[in-house]
Structure 1
Amino acid sequence: MTHDFHELAIGGVLFAPFVTYALGAFAIVLLLRPILHLIGFAKMFSHSSIAELSLYVMVLGTVVLLV
């Protein structure tokens, strides 16, 4: 079985599909940030930046698995 990976081409430069997944996960996390701010996500953790990075990694993993 072979996979047909579609590279992202910007200005004639080809980027791996992972770059597209990473940008998509970043966009999802940016959309989630206002919602997380309303529920007090940052106040639940002693290091909110590490918690937010962990959330990004979980979203990125989910995007990679689902695509």
Structure 2
Amino acid sequence: MMNTYRELVFAPIVSYAAIALIAFLMLRPVLRLVGFAECFSNPSLAELSLYVAMFGLLALFF
């Protein structure tokens, strides 16, 4: 008999990543307008951290 391992379902994780990416891409022009990049010494890392935080919140609440 095979175990199905229901806790290892990847479909919701992929959809959360896609939703977070779309939301982040829509938020990027607003971040440029506000001057988000000037607040950090490494803006790329700050944007990546923001994406990871958005992904984590989606995974946590849904």
Structure with greater proportional strand content: 1
What percentage of aligned pairs have identical amino acids? 52
Say what the alpha-carbon RMSD is for the aligned residues: 1.3
> Hey, what does 1:17 align to over in structure 2?
12
Written as runs of structure 1 = structure 2, the 5 A alignment for 1:7-46 is: 16-46=11-41
Please say which of residues 28-37 and 15-24 is displaced more in the overlay. 15-24
Structure 1 length normalisation: TM-score? 0.75
Tell me the distance in 2 between the aligned counterparts of 1:48 and 1:31: 17
* Letter matched to residue 44 of structure 1: C
Which of the numbers 51, 56, 62 marks the counterpart of 2:57? 62
Instruction: Considering Cα pairs closer than 8 Å and 6+ residues apart, tell me whether 1 or 2 has the greater RCO.
Output: 2
Aligned positions, number: 54
Structure 2 length normalisation: TM-score? 0.81
Structure with greater proportional helix content: 2
